[in-house]
Structure 1
């Protein structure tokens, strides 16, 4: 029995050695093929920017916000293939911590980053009590962003309030008269002083404030840049909106690109609610690459087409347009 088993092992070992010897014999052609195969598997020299979508895109203030819940926006964004979602504060139905944590949990389980927090406030008033109230409001919003685990929050300068309605403001291309008896220079002082008072809370919570080009003193890139440069804080950067420059958009986007912490990209399928911009996203993508922007692009769909149709088309457009070279 032992002799038979010994012979079997010897013959099996010899056979295995023969296979290994054959398989390990150098062959020129296969080596060349392997090298070609390795080249084909080498990493791409580019990486795409992560693309998020604002919950605003699904709602656009059309009807009661309860009709388009944040929860439903999260589920749709995940199903459409987005990387993240930007929450619009006024669309949320509560500020209770249990609600905030439920949203954070839902987004994580859906595979989405909470990539931005879009809020409203304003400091463009001579009334100090008004400004103080908005400073307090902003600090509260920063704390909400912290509870949600969101790293950046959209900030506004506010508007002068001399235009009766937003529709009228849009009809006037965002241009609004200064409050009678005051100057734009005073307005800059109010805004800079107010934002400065919010920065210690932003640093404490790890939430970068992104001043948006969003009417008021933020209507132009020069206005946004003046405020950001004068404050000169790592906790104040720019939320750059592609759709809020109605004159010389590419030049103005370029001037703020290096300070951008989050980009909001508007599309207008089915024509815009207030206006339609024919934006060249290939060109905008190149501008951002030139400034080494690697952060999130957050879609703000502002057209009249069905969002369930237009938002996936917008995602495809942004995926093609925004990428950067790997270091």
Structure 2
């Protein structure tokens, strides 16, 4: 019996196929899941005062199952060194990273002193990123400011007249020169600036890329916002994909605060995969539904879409 058993085991071993090194090399590499973060803006939305505290937002993000948090600078009520370290500690205790920092600034000013004020603000925020261990920071181009109300700007689809006597070429030069003044600090702090397709000169992918290409630095890339192209978004988003370092994904449960887009997130996810994007997707919930219910719905939708 023992001999028969040995023969059986030997025969079984002979039949077992051990992949050769060549066969293993031919296997397709496993795709790492896209990690889903959330902007603290998704909770606060400039109006939910009980959800303004950044540490509270981090706790909620952790409870809901997000992988990381993007901090909205304007939401912060304390910028002291101690406050920055508390934010970093809170994320760590929730088992999450801080995947981005979104600031508000602009460089489309004819007044050189006003541009310098925004350069100084950007440099200060880069240093805040360094203190919190945040690897990328969202920038805006800024806009002409001839439409005073943001509600009116949205009614006009983000289009506004230039300042009298100035052209887009003037504006692009101001933005490019201003960002170049921030590069040394970005490199020193190890923070990649991401120019967002927002309003103003960043309203089109061509505008965003014109600036990024002119600056021509690894410390300026693109922050892609999926909800800021109001018409024909997919081809426009794809133009920016090769230089994208952070994706901000919009959802609109309960209807949008200013407008609602019916975005095909699976299509966006496949496009990003095609361009080998492996970074974070950060939810920007811009719906009227209570964030306590709208945000978890959004997370489930993004998890499903980006599982492709």
* TM-score normalised according to structure 2 size: 0.91
Distance 1:185 1:163 in 2: 20
Structure 2 counterpart of 1:156, from 128, 140, 150: 140
What aligned pairs does 1:36-75 form with structure 2 within 5 A after superposition? 45-64=30-49, 67-75=51-59
5+ residue gaps, structure 1, are 1-17, 36-41
* 1:106 counterpart SS class: helix
Shift of 1:46: 2.8
Shift of 1:24: 10
Show structure 1 runs of 4+ deviating over 4 A. Answer: 21-25, 27-35
Distance 2:271 2:263 in 1: 13
Counterpart in the other structure of 2:24: none
* TM-score normalised according to structure 1 size: 0.86
* 1:46 counterpart SS class: coil
Are the structure 2 counterparts of residues 46 and 182 from structure 1 closer, same or farther at C-alpha, using a change threshold of 3 Å?
same
Contact 1:289 1:323 in 2 (8 A): no
* 1:85 counterpart SS class: strand
Distance 2:15 2:140 in 1: 60
* 2:46 counterpart SS class: coil
Counterpart in the other structure of 1:198: 182
Counterpart in the other structure of 1:146: 130
Q: Please give the root-mean-square deviation of Cα atoms over the aligned residues, in Å.
A: 2.3
5+ residue gaps, structure 2, are 19-26
Distance 2:295 2:190 in 1: 31
Structure 1 counterpart of 2:172, from 176, 188, 191: 188
Point out the structure with max Rg over C-alpha: 1
Are the structure 2 counterparts of residues 43 and 184 from structure 1 closer, same or farther at C-alpha, using a change threshold of 3 Å?
closer
What aligned pairs does 1:23-38 form with structure 2 within 5 A after superposition? 26=9
Distance 1:109 1:226 in 2: 41
Aligned residue pairs: how many? 299
Structure 2 counterpart of 1:179, from 150, 163, 175: 163
* 1:168 counterpart SS class: helix
Distance 2:247 2:5 in 1: 58
* 2:9 counterpart SS class: coil
Query: For each residue in 1:221-250, what CA deviation from the matched residue of structure 2 results, as whole angstroms up to 9, or x when unmatched?
Result: 110010001111000000000000012200
Shift of 1:30: 9.6
Are the structure 2 counterparts of residues 31 and 279 from structure 1 closer, same or farther at C-alpha, using a change threshold of 3 Å?
farther
Counterpart in the other structure of 2:230: 246
